[in-house]
Amino acid sequence: MFKSILDKSRRLVGVGSMAAALAAAAPVMAQDKEPIVFGGSIPLSGVFAFAGVHLHAGLTDYTTWINSEGGINGHPVKYVMEDTGYEVDRSVAAFKKITGSNKVPVYYGDSTGFMKTIASELNSRGTTLMSGASFATALTDNEQYPYQFIPGPNYSQMFGIILEYIATQGKDGDMPTVAFVYSDTEFGKDPIENGKAKAAEMGIKVVEEIVTKPGSVDVSAEILKLRRVRPDFVVFHGYVLSPINEFMVQMRQMGLDTQFMGTFWSSDKLIINKMGADADGYMGVMPYNYYDSAESGPMLDALRATAEKSDPDAGYRPTGYMQGWFNAMVWTEVIKRTMDAGKELTAENMADSLASIENWDTGGIIGVPVTVQDMSFPVGRIWRVNAKEARYEPVSDWIHLD
């Protein structure tokens, strides 16, 4: 009895081994090739950890997925990261450590400060292309930052997309009025001048500008200023949550019918989770489809399947996850294009490959084919909170800035 079971098992193991050997032939070949390293200074702790853990998950899951697809042109992908605590010196240390012990063609930077700081080294090395958590307008200056790109629209372009949407909302031929509320940080001030110029060009009147500390709670005096000018739209920038919630709740209590909008980092579910029904109607500009949106596409479906597999209990994946995944997607595309052109993976060759991206189908991560302009993807869509459904729903078509 025992012998027959053993024989049967051996036969099964034999058949299984043959099948496994055949099935694994391609990955085995892929393993023979040198791995391509995705490097990253990731803020798993510190003030940006709320996004960092999801960025990390997005990058990790993408790596799993691309390896399951045979890697990049047969090269397996290895994701090497270190926590930075969202501190520039620790991010630089992580960069030095990771690039010192690996050949790293692409790297994830965790902040504008780090990406600016590392730029001179990046330029002199000429080996690594970088993108990351930052959408800073300054990083799209090709002269100063030739090897850094933005995985979406930069903050000025986000304002451009918001203003394009606002321009369609006028009544009786009048352009709506707008107020800008932003934080007293480099992040907060980034798009303001360009935003004002764009508004002036489009004939939209900026009736008030308010600067606050990030995370402010007592903004009563600022709200009174807004009550005086009664803007049709208030655009927030440079915040994650507070004081957006304060402005919205208090202004609505005053009976104002102002509509509220925000940019990437303030357009996730945190607002819905913290504000509940009060979040209803808040609008954000988002370059990617939300994880729980009704949209689909081969890559978006693969993302959802991989996310589900890696952590079945996690449920909704925040926008940071989408951003991490999309970053890695762009890196893959850039590396593929460079390899297919028979070129070495230098920063310059990869930057050229990036610049050659035109009408690229992202498989549903972004709803329309995208084209790189000045090292960014100037496309996005306006989404509005449906508090009852606890999710964002699109209220505009995809807006591509020229």
Partner 1 sequence: MRIGDAKQSYEADEAIWKSSTQKVWFAVLLLVLAVFPFMADAYLLYLGCMVGIAVISTTGLNILTGFTGLISLGQAGFMGVGGYTVAWLSANSALPFPVTLLLAGLLAAAVGILVGLPSLRVKGLYLAIATLAASVFLHFIFAEWESVTGGMGGLSLEPAHLFGLSFQNDFEMYFIIVPLAVLMVFGATNIFRTRTGRAFIAIRDRDISAEILGINLLRYKLMSFALSSFYAGVAGGLFAYFYRVVTPESFPLSMSIFYLAAVIVGGMGNLLGGILGAAFMTLIPEALKLLTAALTPFYPNAPIFMSPMLEIIFGVLIVGFLIFEPHGLAEIWHRIRRFFSLWPFKN
Where does this chain bind partner 1 (CB under 8 A)? Answer: 42, 44-46, 49, 53, 56, 81-83, 85, 88-90, 92-93, 96-97, 99-101, 113, 116-117, 119-121, 124, 138, 144, 184-186, 189-190
Instruction: Classify 106 in phi/psi space as left (phi over 0), alpha (psi -120 to 50) or beta.
Output: beta
User: Please, which residue, 154 or 362, has the CB nearer to partner 1?
Assistant: 154
Residue 59's Cβ-count burial label (10 Å; 0-12, 13-18, 19+) is: buried
Shortest Å distance, C-beta 60 to partner 1: 8
**Minimum CB distance to partner 1 smaller for 81 or for 322:** 81
d(CA 292, CA 307): 12
Beta carbon of residue 211, minimum distance to partner 1 (angstroms, whole number)? 11
Shortest spacing between CB 197 and partner 1, in angstroms: 16
Residue 131 Cβ, how far from partner 1 at the closest point, in Å? 18
44 or 390: whose CB is closer to partner 1?
A: 44
- Residue where the block lists tokens 């920063």: 347
Q: Which helix (H) or strand (E) holds 179?
A: strand 177-183
Q: In terms of CB distance, is 69 or 186 closer to partner 1? A: 186
Q: Can you spell out the DSSP letters for 284-303?
A: EEESS--TTSS---HHHHHH
CB of 101 to partner 1, least distance (A): 8
> Which C-beta is closer to partner 1: that of 164 or that of 190?
190
Tokens of 308: 């589900």
CB 287 within 8 A of CB 380: yes
Instruction: Closer to partner 1 by CB, 89 or 344: give it.
Output: 89
How far apart CA 241 and CA 247 sit, in angstroms, is 11
Say which DSSP state 72 is in. B
CB of 133 to partner 1, least distance (A): 15
- Residue 84 CB, shortest distance to partner 1, in Å, is 9
Instruction: Compute CA distances 171 → 66, 159, 168, 232, 365, whole Å.
Output: 48, 21, 9, 11, 33
Q: Quick one: 118 or 370, whose CB is closer to partner 1?
A: 118
Name the residue nearer to partner 1 (CB basis): 190 or 222.
190
Exposed e or buried b for every residue in 151-182, given b needs 16+ CB within 10 A? Answer: bbbbbbbbbbbbbbbbbeeeeeeebbbbbbbb
Could you tell me the smallest distance in angstroms from the CB atom of residue 367 to partner 1? 31
| CB 191, min distance to partner 1, A | 12
Residue type, 23: A
Residue 57 in contact with residue 22, Cβ under 8 Å?
A: no
Which helix or strand (DSSP H or E) is residue 385 part of? strand 379-386
Burial tier of 6 (Cβ tally within 10 Å: 0-12, 13-18, 19+):
exposed
When the beta carbons of 151 and 188 are compared against partner 1, the nearer one is 188
